[in-house]
Structure 1
Amino acid sequence: MPTDDLIAELRWRGLIHQTTDEAGLDQLLKSGQQTVYIGFDPTASSLHVGSMMQLMLLRRFQKAGHRPIALVGGATGMIGDPSGKSEERNLLSAEQLQANVAGVEAQMRRFLDFDGPNAALLLNNYEWMQGYSYLEFLRDVGKNFPVGAMMGKESVRARLGSDAGLSYTEFSYMLLQAYDFVQLCREHGCRIQAGGSDQWGNVTAGIDLGRRMLGEQLFGLTAPLLTTSDGKKMGKTERGAIWLDAERTSPYAFYQYWINVGDDDVMRCIAYLTEIEQDEYNGLADATKNDPGRNEAQKRLASWMTGFVHGEDGLASAEKATKIFFGGDIEDVSDAGLVEIFADVPSKELATSELGGEGLWIIDALQHAGLAKSGGEARRTVKEGGAYINNKRVTDMDLRLFEKDLASETVMVLRKGKRNYALLRFV
């Protein structure tokens, strides 16, 4: 029987936004192993940082002794959830949806344990919806949905009042998701649905449908959305979403995202997304308050998140890349790795022939890179000890650079002073 006080754990972490019956849910969780599910839309072939809130929530239930179901919306993904959306999504093809489902499933297996007495289940609602005819669905499910109640849902009201309006297709989404809860209760004894706070209308619709169709008391719990202190969704940068797939967001970029979280947000991220215990959390909170310049909480958040999502190798590569950016040795790094590390610094392409013959003079190299406006300025930079090639100081005014001086296949890293970087790419 589960012994951890899960509700208390979720409370101190700030992970309970709404519950349908908190006292009843707490009693149910303490009475024995329960089954809980969260749905995930397969709108891309990778999950992103926002999805981690829900994955970690399922993981917390599992670690407390309960059985999690991660439900991939192969059927509901064909419709698109209107909750929190200002306009209708473009519908994906069946082929694209299947590819997305496969990618999402593979990632979920890294977060949840699929063996043991409370092994997680990974299900796809397309399995039970694909054979359902329209007439059968209306007869079995539609008749149990009062239109007035549906119209009263915030997600529906918001879209009806917008310029985009709401199509019948999206209006039907609530029925499909509600039926998922009924199906999971009937087949797997699932009595708890969790999700983000924007899912409250769908969650309560499923609870009501379960009461009407099965005569069961079901429970719902929502967590806050992952937002910054000023209300903006986290997990996005100027370059786009922060994905859990290393091919879309490198471990270095993932690490850098968390290391740069602001002081107003870092402790909430640690509470929401990590398994750092409360005593350590309190210590990090004190450090952030008393000595914010050390960024102790950000460093801990970045290392925990990167190690958890990308493994020890991913964390090691991210930390190595970070050290390079701050002047560490550049060794065994590829072109792609250097371009990722120095994505925001100026770069210039030169012909590889520049490195042949007598080589490229360091004075010319600094000017090509834009680190000196003239030969005189370049000479002063070298003379004063402020010139670096691949993070190694240059002291020889007559230095010539050859292919052996490349940091990777085609890239040379130049630096002036502590942080003024530029890249030369030889093609």
Structure 2
Amino acid sequence: MTNVYDTLNERGYIKQLTHEDEIKKILAKDKVTFYIGFDPTADSLHIGHFIAMMFMAHMQRAGHRPIALVGGGTAMIGDPSGKTDMRKMLSKEEIDYNISCIKLQLSRLIDFKDDKAILENNANWLLNLNYVDFIRDIGVHFSVNRMLAADCFKQRLEKGLSFLEFNYMLMQGYDFLMLNQKYGCTMQLGGDDQWSNIIAGMELIRKKEGKNSYGMTCALLTNSEGKKMGKTENGALWLDANKTSPYDFYQYWRNIADSDVENCLSLLTFVPMDEVRRLGALKDEKINDAKKVLAFEVTKLIHGEEEAVNARTAAEALFGGGVDMSTVPTISMPLDMKNALLMDILVHTKVLPSKAEARRLIEQGGLTINDKKIEDKNAILLDEDFKNGSVLIKKGKKKYYSLIIE
């Protein structure tokens, strides 16, 4: 049986770990209960969280038990890690709704049946804490000097770190302690920006319980230039189909840089590594075959096989000269805009952010309507343009929309 450590290492997940030799041995012979935290500040996870979901899924498939800890308590404050500004405060009702959405998304990769995985909420122990007791019992074990040296605080110190946020490391360390006591959780996984918080929790367990615990961080999802991936012109690449359509999600991966294909196949799919390396080694036009595999596999994991097939079919139809309007992202305009300038319609439907961008696109020859290039910046959509009740808009080389009238 393959040690999951070797799988994680081969696929490029492991960035830092606390006790390499011990972790290798433990993962080989024991069933480990581990946890990863998810911040419920939105009603959907995004692609940056997906790498953590895959980290969990590989561990579970190897026989280990995941705890998905949603921060219903810590979200009332906000994690300063990797942030330059203080986060927006959410109500308890908003947080509870976000948690319900996140569990559905996690369930696509993690099996929660029969206690194979646990969904826990740190609000269960954080919201009823007595602050004086907490500071006496937990705060005494934290060194302010060491905390200030942590990377998660350095960035925020330049703009001003509130005492509210300064408590976050104590609370996350307390989370690890509580999960250790309640479920025998001995390992915390997380993004590399969580390293300081993970170490803090391990130290707290050692001081309070006299036990060893362990930590591993995974690489953040970055491109070959070291920049974070998952940003689109409309913001984050969300896992919720209502925020990022399956077609747009598919197209994002279909259009990534050639140099990023192998890394994304390794981290974001279960494609065997021999095949990952073969696909990643393809050159020139053939690398598009690897991108199609990547786009299909990631979309299938997030949205299901049917949506992945639909997205692939739509893309192939569009780029093959045909049009499958049913699976192209749909946008709508009100009836009273029927005789408006095409530029105004593009801005209203958020195809483009401004009239200036619309004019520039038209001047550069980058806008077509039903396969006809638009050259007049004062163009108006006519009734005859709405074939079968919709208009096919092509922006640039690869972005398509189906425009309908509400």
User: For the superposition of Structure 1 and Structure 2, which TM-score range results when normalised by the shorter chain?
Assistant: 0.7 to 0.9
2:316 counterpart letter in structure 1: K
Q: How many residues end up aligned between the 2 structures?
A: 369
Distance in structure 1 (CA, Å) of the matches to 2:104 and 2:393:
40
Aligned-residue sequence identity (percent) comes to 42
CA-to-aligned-CA distance 1:400-427 (integer Å, 9 cap, x gap) = xx98984443x23489xx9898987668
- Relative distance call for 1:196 and 1:331 in structure 2 (3 A) is closer
CA-to-aligned-CA distance 1:60-115 (integer Å, 9 cap, x gap) = 10001100111100001111111111121121122221221111122111110112
Distance in structure 2 (CA, Å) of the matches to 1:216 and 1:208:
9
TM-score (norm 2): 0.83
Contact 1:333-1:407 at 8 Å conserved across structures: no
Q: Counterpart of 1:245 in 2: which secondary structure?
A: coil
1:83 counterpart letter in structure 2: S
Q: Counterpart of 1:194 in 2: which secondary structure?
A: strand
- Relative distance call for 1:140 and 1:389 in structure 2 (3 A) is closer
Q: Is 1:337 aligned to residue 329 of structure 2?
A: yes
- Relative distance call for 1:279 and 1:172 in structure 2 (3 A) is same
Match of 2:120 among 123, 127, 130: 123
- Report what 1:110 is aligned to: 108
Distance in structure 1 (CA, Å) of the matches to 2:194 and 2:399:
46
Q: Is 1:267 aligned to residue 265 of structure 2?
A: no
Q: Provide the aligned C-alpha RMSD in A.
A: 3.1
Q: CA deviation at 1:30?
A: 1.5
Match of 2:145 among 123, 148, 152: 148
Correspondence 1:342-353 to 2 at 5 A: 350=338
- Report what 1:77 is aligned to: 75
1:73 counterpart letter in structure 2: G
1:337 counterpart letter in structure 2: P
Structure 1 residue ranges without an equivalent (≥5) = 352-369, 374-387, 393-401
Match of 2:293 among 286, 296, 300: 300
- Report what 1:66 is aligned to: 64
CA-to-aligned-CA distance 1:21-77 (integer Å, 9 cap, x gap) = 111111111222110100000110000000001011011100011001111000011
Q: Is 1:13 aligned to residue 11 of structure 2?
A: yes
- Report what 2:212 is aligned to: 217
- Report what 2:379 is aligned to: none
- Report what 1:280 is aligned to: 275
2:97 counterpart letter in structure 1: A
State the structure with more CA Rg. Answer: 1
Structure 2 residue ranges without an equivalent (≥5) = 340-358, 363-367, 373-381
Distance in structure 1 (CA, Å) of the matches to 2:288 and 2:306:
23
TM-score (norm 1): 0.79
Match of 1:201 among 186, 196, 200: 196
Instruction: After the TM superposition, list the runs of 4 or more consecutive aligned residues in structure 1 that deviate by more than 3 angstroms.
Output: 290-294, 327-332, 336-340, 348-351, 388-392, 402-409, 412-415, 418-427
Q: CA deviation at 1:317?
A: 2.0
Distance in structure 2 (CA, Å) of the matches to 1:209 and 1:221:
17
Distance in structure 1 (CA, Å) of the matches to 2:182 and 2:201:
15
Distance in structure 1 (CA, Å) of the matches to 2:398 and 2:58:
41
- Relative distance call for 1:188 and 1:207 in structure 2 (3 A) is same
- Report what 2:33 is aligned to: 35
